[in-house]
Structure 1
Amino acid sequence: MTTASETTQVQLAFDELGTPLRDTTFVVVDLETTGGSAEQDAITEIGAVKVRGGEVLGEFATLVDPGRGIPPEIVSITGITDAMVSAAPTFEHVLPAFLEFASGAVFVAHNSGFDMTFLKEACKRYGYPWPKPAVVCTVKLARRVLTRDEAPSCRLSALAQLFHARTTPNHRALADARATVDVLHGLLERVGSIGVQSLEELMDYLPEVTATQRRKRGMAAHLPEEPGVYLFMGPREEVLYVGTATNLRRRVRQYFTASETRPRLREMVALASRVDFVTCAHPLEAQVRELRLLSAHKPSYNRRSRNPNHSWWLTLTDEPFPRLSVVRTPRPGALGPIRSRRMADDVVLALQEVTGIRPCTQRISATRPTGKPCALAELHRCQAPCAGRQSVEEYAPFVVTAQELVAGLRTRPLAELASRMEVLAQAQRYEQAAVERDRLAVLVRALDRAQRLGSLAALAEVVAARSDGKGGWLFAVIRYGRLASAGVAPRGVRPMPVVAQLVAAAETVLPSDDPLRGASPEELGVVLRWLDQPGTRLVQTSEPWWQPVRSAGRWRSWLARAEAAVPRQRTTSE
C-alpha cells in the first residue's frame, strides 16, 4: 500500500488535471421555441457555434417547422412567424445533423436547463440516444464569477454589453449563440486568472462544489493513472471509504468536483486526511482487493460495511425427521449462498413444496411421537410424522430428494412443480399458477447460483485470460474460488512465461469442507462473473470444470422466460 504525505501541498500540473480549456471544443447552442414546456411546445429555430481555443470552427443554424402555430406573444419576441417556418424542415430531420455537428463537444448555453431540456426531449421523441455531454451554463458561471456590482443582471443582453460582445443578442438563435460565445470567452478569462485552466477545473468551479472539496483536490495528485483500489484515510488513521477505479487519479478527482453530490461522501471528504492506494494488474484484482479491504476494515462510509454477513444458507437438521433450517454459517451439503433472509424463506417454502420435507419446526422422536396432526396434514401437505403416521424409513426418501436436488443430481421435482403450474393455468386458475411459477423461479435461481459457485470453488486451480483490447492479455490464477494471483502480458510479451510466473507466485489456498471451500461468496461471485464474460479463455485447469447433468442449469431458459414475463419480480428477488 502506498501512503502519501503532505498531499495537500502538491500542486497538479494543468495538463494532469484533464483537458486544457484551450484544447476543449465547445458548441454554444441557442433555441427559439413556441413556449416554455419541452413536452408541449416545439422548437422554431436552432443556432449553434463550434469553437476551440478562441477560434470559430463552424456554425449551424436553421429555422424549424414546429408543426403548430406560433403564439403571437412569441412572434413579438423573436420575430419568427408561421410564414417563415412553413417551408422549414421539422426538428426530426434537423436533430441528427445537429448531433453530428456537436459530437464530442462540451455543450454551452445561456440558462442551459431550458435548452438541454428541449434537446433531451427531442432525442427521446425521435429515438436518438442523448449523448450526455458535459454542459456549461453561462448564467451559473457568471453568477459564480461576477459580483453583483459588476453584473446586477445575468441576462444575455446585459452580459454581452459587459464583455463587449461583437454580436448583439436579439432573440434569434444564431445571433444569441454568437453573443454567448463572447460571453463564454469573457468568463473563461476571469476564471483563468485564478487558476482554472482545464475543463475539469471549470466544472469543479461551479457553486455545487463545497470549499472543502475544492481545497482537498490535491489529495489526488500522487495517484497513478492505473487500475487499483483507493482508501480515504481519516485523522486517526482509520479507513473511511474504499473504492475501485480503472484510473485511480481520474476517479478520486471526481470526489472533489461537482459530479460528487452525495452528502454522505461529501462529509467523508471533509474528514479525510489523505488517500492511499493499491495498484492492481486489472479491474478483477481491484474488485477482489476492494472486497477484502471492506471485510478487513469495515469503513463507516461504505454502505456494504453495514451488513457484512449478508449470506444465508439452508441446511437439513440432524434429527430423525430432518427439517430445513436457515443459518448464517455454511455447512457441508447446505444450499447457498442466498442474498437475503426473505429469499431464504421463499426457497425453504419451495423446497418443502417439491420434496415433501415437513414444514413444522418441532423436534419429533423416532420412537415416541407425541404430536397432533396440524392443518397441513388435513390438507395432505404433510404426512404427520409428529403423530406417528409416518416412520423414519418412510420419511427418508424426502430427505434424499432434497439432498440430490441441492447437489444437482435430480431435477424431477422441478418438472413436477412446472407440470402443476401448467395444469392450474389450463384450468384458468391463473393466480395460483402464478404462485407456483414464482416459487419455481425462486428455487431454480437459488439452486443454479449455488451449483455454479460450488463447481468453481471445487477447482484446485484455474488460469484464465482475457484480451486487454491492445494486443495483450490479462491473467487470473484462481484457487478454490479465490483470486490467488493476477497479472498482464502486454502486446509483444510472450504470454505463457508470464502465466508460469503467476502460478509460481500465486497465493497458497487451503480449502475447507463447506460448499464454497471457504471462499467468500462475494469474491467468488465477482470471479465467476469475470470468467463468464464473452472472450474469457481458460488457459489451464487442475481438473475439468463441470456441473452435474441434472443441475438446475438446465432450467435457465425456462427461468429467462419466467423473468421476462414478470420483470418487477426479477428485481425484487435477485
Structure 2
Amino acid sequence: MRSSAEQLSLDELSEPLRTTTFVIVDLETTGGAANGDAITEIGAVKVRGGEVLGEFQTLVDPGRPIDPFVSVLTGITDSMVCGSPGIGATVPAFLEFAHGSVLVAHNAPFDVGFLKSACAQLALPWPAFAVVDTAVLARRVLTRDEVPNCKLATLAPFFHAQTMPTHRALDDARATVDVLHGLIGRLGNLGVHSLPELKAFTAQVSEAQRRKRRLADGLPAGPGVYIFRDAQGRPLYVGTSRNLRARVRQYFVASETRSRMGEMIGLAERVDPIPCAHALEAQVRELRLIAAHKPRYNRRSKFPERSVWLKLTVEPYPRLSVVRVRRDDGGSYLGPLRSQRQAEAVRDAIHDAVPLRQCSDRLSLRRFVRAACVLAGIGRCQAPCEGGTSPQQYAALVGLVASAWIGDVRPLVEPLERKLATLAESQRYEQAGVVRDRIATVVRACARMQRLSSLQSVAELVAARPDGDGGWELSVIRSGRLAAAGHAARGVPPWPVIDALRATADVVDESTAPLAEETECILRWLEEPGTRLADASDAWTMPAFGAGGLRSYLAGSREGADPFADRRRLPVVSRPARPKLTA
C-alpha cells in the first residue's frame, strides 16, 4: 500500500488506454471542402476497453443537391436525405454523444474540419476533444512490407475487421474501431499504454533529428532556397521558404512527420542556403535546382523532360499522336502535358468531338488503302481510308483542332456540350459526368498552353509587386523565364533598381523551351493582387475566345477525374418531378 506522501509518476496519473472512452466517427459529405461542402451522414461508435458502448448514426439534409459522383461513391441520394434533420439538430446530438470522450477518425483533419465548420455555422463552441488519427498511427506502426498504404480499405482486411468500409459513415466507423484496436495492440508492445504516451508517439522526434538541429544555425531569416547535402556534398533535398532559418528548423521538431524526411535528416551533414530577393526568385531557383540535380528525396518537378505532347501529325490525313519531344517539323502540338495519361485523355476527348481518324495507317491522297473500320459506321471517323471525305473537308477538321489549341476553343467544346446536355436531359448522369470531365480535360490543356505561350511570346516584361513594407519586389521576365530579380526597399526609387536589373539580367536562349512549371510560377506571381506591369517590349495578350474564358470547367476540377473518385459538383439540368399525392 502506498504512503500518502508518495508522489505518483505522470504515467500513473494518466488514464490508461484500456479504460479510455473513444468515439470513432466518420462523415459522408457533398465534397472535400469543409468551408464549402456539407455533411450528409454521421456515423460513430463509442468504445471502452474493447467493448462497444453505443452507436450513433443519422443522415443529414445538406440543404443542397448531392453530386451524382458522390451518390455513386456513397449510395446516398437526394431522396434519402430528403426529410432528414439538418446540422442544427444532428451536430449538437453528436456532440452530446461524444461528450467526455477521445475522438478517433481515419484522416481526422477531414472529419474534424467538417464538424468544426458545422459548429461555427451554428455558433456553437467546439469542445476541447483530444483527437487520435488512425491514419497517422498506422504510418507510425506499420511498415511497407506489411501494407502498401494506410487507407482504411487496406487496413480493415489487414486487421481482420468484422465490418469492411463501404463509404457509408457507420460501416466505416465500425471498420475504424477494429483498426484502432489492432493498432493499440501493436502500441502496447512498444510501451505505449496511456493517452499522453499515444500523443507523444504520434509526434515523436528521433534522436537523430534532435542532434541535427545545429544545421539550422546561422541560416538567414529571409526568402531563399535551402539544399540539404550528404557527407559527399550530394543534394538530398531542395526546398524553398520565405524564412530560411524558421523553415529548416521545422525539420527537427515534432511537426515534421514525413518518414522520408526523417531518413533524409539522418543522412544530411549540412544545409546550404541561397538567399533570394523575393519568394518568386526562390521558387524559380528551387525548380531549376530540382530539375538539374534530381535530389533523391524530392518528389515534385524532378523530371520536366518527361512532359508529353499531343501532336497533329504531318501527313496527307493527319491524326493525333502522343509524343515525348516537340520537333520543328511543321506539325501542330498541344502541350506540354503533365503525363501520358492526361495526353491520352485529351486525345480521347478530341476524338469524341471531332471525327479525326484514329488508325495509324499511312494514307495516301492517290489511292484508297482499305475498307473503313467500325468507327466510320458509328460516325466517329470520316473514313479517309476509303475516300469517305475529301482532303479539303478533312483539312477543315484538322484546322479546327489546331486553331482551338492556340485560339478559339469553342468549336471543339460545343459538340461535347451538346452531348452533355442530351445526356443530362435523359437523366444519364454518369455518362454526362464522363463527358463533362472530357470537356474539362480539353479546356484545361488548351488553357495551360495558351497561358504559357502568351507569356513566352513576350521578349521582355518588367513587373513590380508591393512587399508589404512600403517597398517593391521586382522581376525581369524574358520569354517566360525569370531573368533577374531584385528588391527596392522603402524609400528607394524603383526605376534605378529596374535599370540595373535589366543591365545584368540573364541572356535567354530562345532556342530552348523554358520549364513549363517555371512559367506557371511566374504567371501566378503576376496574377497576384497588387502586381503591376512596369514595362513590356511586346503586348501581352490572350485569345479573345480562348480556353481561359471557360471558367466553369477550370474551377474546382482535378486531373484524371473519374466518377468514383471525383467529388466535383455537376449542374443538375433535369430532375424528375416529385409525384403528387392524391387522396
Q: Contact 1:204–1:257 (CA<8 Å) still a contact in 2?
A: no
Q: Over residues 487-528 of structure 1, what are the superposed CA-to-partner deviations in whole Å (9 max), with x where a residue is unaligned? A: 11111111222112112211111313xxxx611111111111
* Partner amino acid, structure 1, of 2:466: S
- Cα separation, 2, equivalents of 1:307 and 1:279: 25
Deviation at 1:207, TM superposition (A): 8.2
Corresponding residue for residue 572 of structure 2 = none
Judged with a 3 Å threshold, the aligned counterparts in structure 2 of structure 1 residues 318 and 121 are, in CA distance, closer, same or farther, namely closer
Deviation at 1:535, TM superposition (A): 1.9
**Structural mapping, 1:205-284, within 5 Å:** 208-284=204-280
Corresponding residue for residue 400 of structure 2 = 401
Corresponding residue for residue 459 of structure 1 = 458
RMSD of the TM alignment (CA)? 3.8
2:521 maps to 1:526:
yes
Q: Contact 2:465–2:474 (CA<8 Å) still a contact in 1?
A: yes
Deviation at 1:473, TM superposition (A): 1.0
Corresponding residue for residue 282 of structure 2 = 286
Q: Contact 2:238–2:290 (CA<8 Å) still a contact in 1?
A: yes
Q: Over residues 126-146 of structure 1, what are the superposed CA-to-partner deviations in whole Å (9 max), with x where a residue is unaligned? A: 2279899xx9xxxxxxxxxxx
Q: Over residues 135-191 of structure 1, what are the superposed CA-to-partner deviations in whole Å (9 max), with x where a residue is unaligned? A: 9xxxxxxxxxxxxxxxxxxxxxxxxxxxxxxxxxxxxxxxxxxxxxxxxxxxxxxxx
**Structural mapping, 1:471-486, within 5 Å:** 471-486=470-485
Deviation at 1:279, TM superposition (A): 0.3
- Cα separation, 2, equivalents of 1:551 and 1:123: 41
Structure with bigger gyration radius:
1
Secondary structure at the counterpart of residue 566 of structure 2: helix
Q: Contact 2:294–2:303 (CA<8 Å) still a contact in 1?
A: no
Aligned partner (choices 531, 542, 546) of residue 547 of structure 1: 542
Q: Contact 1:437–1:562 (CA<8 Å) still a contact in 2?
A: no
Deviation at 1:366, TM superposition (A): 2.3
- Cα separation, 2, equivalents of 1:567 and 1:230: 40
Secondary structure at the counterpart of residue 476 of structure 1: strand
- Cα separation, 2, equivalents of 1:548 and 1:351: 20
Q: Contact 1:204–1:256 (CA<8 Å) still a contact in 2?
A: no
* Partner amino acid, structure 1, of 2:305: N
* Partner amino acid, structure 2, of 1:255: Y
Q: Contact 1:245–1:251 (CA<8 Å) still a contact in 2?
A: yes
* Partner amino acid, structure 2, of 1:442: T
Deviation at 1:416, TM superposition (A): 3.0
Q: Contact 1:214–1:257 (CA<8 Å) still a contact in 2?
A: yes
Corresponding residue for residue 334 of structure 1 = 333
Q: Contact 2:430–2:563 (CA<8 Å) still a contact in 1?
A: no
- Cα separation, 2, equivalents of 1:529 and 1:207: 34
Corresponding residue for residue 436 of structure 1 = 435
- Cα separation, 2, equivalents of 1:300 and 1:565: 31
Secondary structure at the counterpart of residue 304 of structure 1: coil
Corresponding residue for residue 368 of structure 1 = 367
2:566 maps to 1:569:
yes
Judged with a 3 Å threshold, the aligned counterparts in structure 2 of structure 1 residues 306 and 535 are, in CA distance, closer, same or farther, namely closer
- Cα separation, 1, equivalents of 2:127 and 2:510: 48
Q: Contact 2:24–2:103 (CA<8 Å) still a contact in 1?
A: no
Q: Over residues 455-513 of structure 1, what are the superposed CA-to-partner deviations in whole Å (9 max), with x where a residue is unaligned? A: 0111111111111111111111111110111111111111222112112211111313x
Judged with a 3 Å threshold, the aligned counterparts in structure 2 of structure 1 residues 372 and 489 are, in CA distance, closer, same or farther, namely same
Deviation at 1:349, TM superposition (A): 1.3
Secondary structure at the counterpart of residue 305 of structure 2: coil
- Cα separation, 1, equivalents of 2:200 and 2:493: 44
2:316 maps to 1:316:
no
- Cα separation, 2, equivalents of 1:531 and 1:565: 32
Secondary structure at the counterpart of residue 518 of structure 2: helix
- Cα separation, 1, equivalents of 2:278 and 2:556: 35
Corresponding residue for residue 537 of structure 1 = 532
Deviation at 1:123, TM superposition (A): 4.6
Deviation at 1:371, TM superposition (A): 2.1
Q: Over residues 522-569 of structure 1, what are the superposed CA-to-partner deviations in whole Å (9 max), with x where a residue is unaligned? A: 111111111122222111111111112121123224544888998953
Number of aligned residues: 401
- Cα separation, 1, equivalents of 2:238 and 2:509: 27
Corresponding residue for residue 423 of structure 1 = 422
Deviation at 1:38, TM superposition (A): 6.0
Secondary structure at the counterpart of residue 281 of structure 1: coil
* Partner amino acid, structure 2, of 1:437: R
* Partner amino acid, structure 2, of 1:285: E
Secondary structure at the counterpart of residue 458 of structure 2: coil
Deviation at 1:302, TM superposition (A): 0.8
* Partner amino acid, structure 1, of 2:317: F
Q: Contact 1:264–1:301 (CA<8 Å) still a contact in 2?
A: yes
Judged with a 3 Å threshold, the aligned counterparts in structure 2 of structure 1 residues 226 and 112 are, in CA distance, closer, same or farther, namely farther
Deviation at 1:396, TM superposition (A): 1.2
The more displaced of 123-132 and 310-319 is 123-132
Judged with a 3 Å threshold, the aligned counterparts in structure 2 of structure 1 residues 204 and 234 are, in CA distance, closer, same or farther, namely farther
Judged with a 3 Å threshold, the aligned counterparts in structure 2 of structure 1 residues 236 and 562 are, in CA distance, closer, same or farther, namely closer
TM-score (norm 1): 0.63
Q: Contact 2:304–2:515 (CA<8 Å) still a contact in 1?
A: no
Q: Contact 1:410–1:550 (CA<8 Å) still a contact in 2?
A: yes
- Cα separation, 2, equivalents of 1:228 and 1:369: 62
Secondary structure at the counterpart of residue 492 of structure 2: coil
Judged with a 3 Å threshold, the aligned counterparts in structure 2 of structure 1 residues 327 and 207 are, in CA distance, closer, same or farther, namely closer
- Cα separation, 1, equivalents of 2:210 and 2:235: 21
Judged with a 3 Å threshold, the aligned counterparts in structure 2 of structure 1 residues 337 and 272 are, in CA distance, closer, same or farther, namely same
* Partner amino acid, structure 2, of 1:531: L
- Cα separation, 2, equivalents of 1:122 and 1:370: 64
- Cα separation, 1, equivalents of 2:551 and 2:540: 19
* Partner amino acid, structure 2, of 1:240: L
- Cα separation, 1, equivalents of 2:564 and 2:280: 29
Q: Contact 1:38–1:121 (CA<8 Å) still a contact in 2?
A: no
Judged with a 3 Å threshold, the aligned counterparts in structure 2 of structure 1 residues 463 and 529 are, in CA distance, closer, same or farther, namely same
Q: Over residues 58-97 of structure 1, what are the superposed CA-to-partner deviations in whole Å (9 max), with x where a residue is unaligned? A: xxxxxxxxxxxxxxxxxxxxxxxxxxxxxxxxx99xx9xx
* Partner amino acid, structure 2, of 1:126: C
Secondary structure at the counterpart of residue 464 of structure 2: strand
Q: Contact 1:366–1:391 (CA<8 Å) still a contact in 2?
A: no
Deviation at 1:303, TM superposition (A): 1.3
Corresponding residue for residue 493 of structure 2 = 494
Deviation at 1:215, TM superposition (A): 1.5
Q: Contact 1:204–1:214 (CA<8 Å) still a contact in 2?
A: no
Judged with a 3 Å threshold, the aligned counterparts in structure 2 of structure 1 residues 205 and 416 are, in CA distance, closer, same or farther, namely closer
**Structural mapping, 1:99-248, within 5 Å:** 123=116, 126-127=119-120, 208-248=204-244
* Partner amino acid, structure 2, of 1:380: G
Secondary structure at the counterpart of residue 533 of structure 1: coil
Deviation at 1:275, TM superposition (A): 0.9
- Cα separation, 1, equivalents of 2:383 and 2:125: 61
Deviation at 1:427, TM superposition (A): 3.6
Q: Contact 2:400–2:411 (CA<8 Å) still a contact in 1?
A: no
Deviation at 1:205, TM superposition (A): 13
Deviation at 1:415, TM superposition (A): 2.1
Secondary structure at the counterpart of residue 344 of structure 2: helix
Secondary structure at the counterpart of residue 485 of structure 1: strand
- Cα separation, 2, equivalents of 1:526 and 1:129: 40
Deviation at 1:234, TM superposition (A): 1.0
